[in-house]
Amino acid sequence: MRILYLLLSVLFVVLQGVAGQPFIPRLIDTCRLRNGICFPGICRRPYYWIGTCNNGIGSCCARGWRS
């Protein structure tokens, strides 16, 4: 039974490779989706904080409103 599960998982990986789909999906850069820029540390003027970057270290910052 254990061999059957192993063969099914190998078949799944092969089918995804044939279909052109990655087995492990890439991380979506959420900061880029929000039109932000990743900075190490905190955001400085004229940028404001809108979240964290994918690496967990940087801050996702966006430009402030222009007066």
Quickly state the pLDDT bin for 54 (edges 50, 70, 90).
Answer: confident
Domain that holds residue 35: 26-63
Asked whether residue 54 is assigned to any structural domain, the reply reads: yes
Q: Name residue 44's beta-bridge partners.
A: none
Asked whether residue 34 is assigned to any structural domain, the reply reads: yes
- The closest of 49, 52, 53 to 61, measured between CA atoms, is 49
Is the pTM higher than 0.75? The answer reads no
What mean pLDDT value characterizes the chain?
Answer: 80
Asked whether residue 14 is assigned to any structural domain, the reply reads: no
Q: How many domains in the chain?
A: 1
User: Residue 58 sits in a domain of what CATH number?
Assistant: 3.10.360.10
- The closest of 30, 32, 38 to 47, measured between CA atoms, is 38
Note the pLDDT of residue 11. Answer: 78
Asked whether residue 45 is assigned to any structural domain, the reply reads: yes
Three-state DSSP at 4 gives helix
Mean per-residue pLDDT, 43-54:
89
Asked whether residue 16 is assigned to any structural domain, the reply reads: no
Note the pLDDT of residue 5. Answer: 79
